[in-house]
């Protein structure tokens, strides 16, 4: 779906230790030698598409370097804690929404002439989810 991909690549294979020599490069859709592959099926986070990126003798302009050459690892780590926080918040919101949907469902779903929310085991299971 995106017109740009930020690719993490090793621009200096001889750099040591391994985290050095990594750069960030912006690759535009339509770049020679670059194409998107199939969309990958995921267990979660369906709102963010994930697909294969295929590079076959891709040619990217030097001006597409993002940040400083060889410092890509440091650029990534600079925002890593913020990304963890955002993912944590997203997971919390998703868990709360799943609990809300489950509560709505067990109140509406009938079994043996009553909503399944009236069954003790259902109440125990909901309470376990609620306290986590």
Asked if residues 33 and 54 have their Cβ atoms less than 8 Å apart, the reply is no
Q: Which of these is catalytic: 28, 52, 68, 83?
A: 83
Is residue 83 annotated as a catalytic residue, yes or no?
A: yes
- Return the H-helix or E-strand segment holding 107: helix 80-108
The residue assigned the tokens 């259902």 is: 122
DSSP 21-71: TEEEEEEETT-TTEEEEEEPP-SS-TTS--EEEEESS----GGGEESSTTB
* Dist. CA 52–CA 45, nearest whole Å: 16
Enumerate the active-site residues.
Answer: 83
């Amino acid at each position: 779906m995106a017109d740009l991909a930020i690719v993490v690549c090793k621009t200096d294979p001889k750099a040591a230790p391994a985290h050095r020599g990594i750069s960030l490069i912006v690759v535009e859709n339509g770049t020679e030698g670059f194409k998107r592959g199939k969309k990958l099926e995921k267990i979660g986070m369906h709102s963010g598409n994930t697909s294969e990126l295929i590079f076959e003798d891709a040619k990217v302009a030097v001006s597409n370097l993002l940040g400083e050459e060889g410092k890509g690892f440091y650029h990534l780590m600079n925002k890593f804690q913020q990304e963890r926080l955002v993912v944590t918040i997203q997971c919390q919101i998703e868990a709360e929404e799943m609990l809300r949907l489950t509560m709505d469902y067990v109140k509406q779903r009938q079994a043996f002439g009553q909503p399944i929310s009236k069954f003790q085991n259902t109440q125990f299971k909901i309470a376990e989810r609620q306290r986590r």
